[in-house]
Amino acid sequence: MAAGGGTKAIVAALAANLTIAVLKFIAFFLTASSSMLAEAIHSVADSGNQLLLLVGGKRAKRAASPEHPFGYGRERYIYAFIVSIVLFSVGGLFALYEAFEKFQHPHGIEGDFWWVPLAVLVGAIIAEGFSFRTAIIESNHIRGKQTWVKFVRNAKQPELPVILLEDFGALLGLVFALFGVSMTLVTGDGIWDAFGTAMIGLLLVAIAIVLAMETKSLLLGESATKEDVQRITEALEADGTHIIHLKTMHLGPEELLVAAKISMGASETGQEIAKGIDDAEQRIRAAVPIARVIYLEPDIERVQAQQA
């Protein structure tokens, strides 16, 4: 569900951004508004980012190989990290550069097409609103009772948090652009247009930094959620087994590595130990289906060893 929901949200965002980008470029060519140019580049960057997420999702499905025995699940994290770089450079830095140029050479919005930016921005807000709504609906399937901040920080599937932040940033950016263009039309002073562009740039840089930090954590290798760790612990201890230590790590959004050292009786035979490990693996997979790679090491606790 997570993967399908993420793809649905990506496709919805991609369709909206491609359409909006064309309209914004038309508005820029007709009015020379820097806010419209910044927003057009923003939509192009977002469209490219969504394509990157789709490519990452497809490449992550490749089967494991001798060179990559744990598979390619983390490719989704790599492409999400690239998205943050694109958003920072192509979106944020370009908008800040355009704002600086407009502050140096401000000019109002004149001519018969003064209304075009307003119409495009209002239409874009409506379209982005539908895209954002789709992302929210799909995220709610896996968010549970978490707050939105915790969901973005704790999600192991990078696509939905990326789309959520992009759509949220796009809506705020459109509001900033609408403010800048409206004030420029009212006052005739292009400084307002430059101000709106600068706000868009700062917003995109901030979102890119948040995305980079979160995807960096995923790339380094995050453990299972507290809930999944608790389920794994309960599954292991269901037959009285004692856990000496337990470690988990996500190999991808839907693939979890579980490694544990567990206690075994000093008098147990090799066959009994093997059966105990097999049973424990079955319980873990039943409790946490994404636990696909499990390594259990039998050991004898020190207390038992001393008694022996």
CA dihedral 93, 97, 98, 103 (to 10 degrees): 140
Residues 53, 211: Cα–Cα separation, whole Å: 13
**Model confidence over 96-151: pLDDT tens digits?**
888 888 888 877 776 677 788 888 888 888 888 888 888 888 888 888 788 888 88
User: Which sign does the torsion angle of CA 136, 137, 138, 142 carry?
Assistant: positive
φ/ψ bin of 259: left (φ > 0), alpha (ψ from -120 to 50), beta (otherwise): beta
Name the band, by pLDDT with cuts 50, 70 and 90, for residue 301.
Answer: low
Beta strands 291-299 and 255-263, pairing class: parallel
| Encoded tokens for 52 | 């990157």
Handedness of CA 19, 188, 94, 212 (dihedral sign): negative
- Check residue 241 and give its pLDDT: 82
Q: Whole-angstrom Cα distance, residue 45 to residue 88? A: 10
Chain-centre distance for alpha carbon 296: 32
pTM: 0.75
Q: Is the dihedral of CA 212, 213, 217, 220 positive or negative?
A: positive
User: How long, in residues, is the chain?
Assistant: 308
Beta bridge partners of 291: 256
pLDDT in tens, 166-194: 888 888 988 998 998 889 888 888 899 88
